[in-house]
Chain A
Amino acid sequence: EAQLVESGGGLVQPGRSLRLSCVGSGFTFEDYAMHWVRQVPGKGLEWISGISWGSGTINYADSVKGRFTISRDNAKNSLYLQMNSLRAEDTAFYYCAKDIRLGDDAFDIWGRGTMVTVSS
């Protein structure tokens, strides 16, 4: 069964950094683009970043551009999100998600999410 498991969330002070990780299993991780999507509890979904299978194409939402960095290590079936200069408005559940197929950014597998709280 394909699954994704996030880790690395927690409570962090404004201005500090945090690194999220996501490990995939049950599918050929290196064949798929991967993404991070966040959600403030009780609110809507916000896509924040995506990376192609070979890391050749990377995209960010304007809300995180210049502060967050997405990366992947296909040998470790892992996706990462380095979050710097964190702000209160970055507080949310962070999900990693997998593309359903090459060239189609619908997300068929999601992790359970990891909560990031930015507060002093």
Chain B
Amino acid sequence: DIAMTQSPSSVSASVGDTVTITCRASQDISNWVAWYQQKPGKAPKLLIYAPSGLQSGVPSRFSGSGSGTDFTLTISSLQPEDFATYFCQQANSFPITFGQGTRLDIK
């Protein structure tokens, strides 16, 4: 199985900051990674899909990059609604696997 190691597990930031979350795959997954945002009591929401596609309706302050084993999600100019938990996911092969999540809190 492909392990997705996400870091940091939590981060505190302020409105207007730029935050970067990383995900490392245990083997080459080309660019088959997706990123999700989840708020308490809600289903995950797709933000970024392979190779670096921004899902419809998602603000352009969200961006994804990387290939092979190392991937990043960058959130620029943080807004109050961005404070949530973020997950990466590999879609290269089955079983599909997720990172353990990054909780983004208000500083």
Given known A-B contacts A44-B101, A100-B49, A106 and B95 have beta carbons under 8 A apart: no
Further contacts, 10 of them, CB under 8 A, given A107-B34, A110-B45, A113-B43: A35-B96, A44-B100, A45-B44, A47-B98, A50-B96, A62-B95, A105-B32, A105-B96, A107-B36, A107-B89
Listed in ascending order, the chain B residues whose CB lies under 8 Å from chain A are 1, 32, 34, 36, 42-46, 49-50, 55, 87, 89, 91, 94-101
User: Complex: how many Å from CA A21 to CA B103?
Assistant: 30
What residues on A are CB-neighbors of B46 within 8 Å?
100, 106-108
What residues on A are CB-neighbors of B36 within 8 Å?
45, 107
User: Complex: how many Å from CA A35 to CA B101?
Assistant: 20
What residues on A are CB-neighbors of B44 within 8 Å?
45, 95, 107, 110
CB closest residue in chain A, given B34: A106
User: Complex: how many Å from CA A27 to CA B89?
Assistant: 24
Interface footprint category on A: 20 to 34
Listed in ascending order, the chain A residues whose CB lies under 8 Å from chain B are 35, 44-47, 50, 59-62, 95, 100, 104-108, 110-113
A74 to chain B minimum Cβ distance, whole angstroms, is 21
What residues on B are CB-neighbors of A107 within 8 Å?
34, 36, 44, 46, 89
User: Complex: how many Å from CA A50 to CA B32?
Assistant: 17
Is the CB–CB distance between B95 and A61 below 8 Å? Answer: yes
What residues on B are CB-neighbors of A100 within 8 Å?
46, 49, 55
What residues on B are CB-neighbors of A113 within 8 Å?
43
What residues on B are CB-neighbors of A44 within 8 Å?
87, 98-101
What residues on B are CB-neighbors of A108 within 8 Å?
46, 49, 55
Is the CB–CB distance between B49 and A104 below 8 Å? Answer: yes
A57 to chain B minimum Cβ distance, whole angstroms, is 9
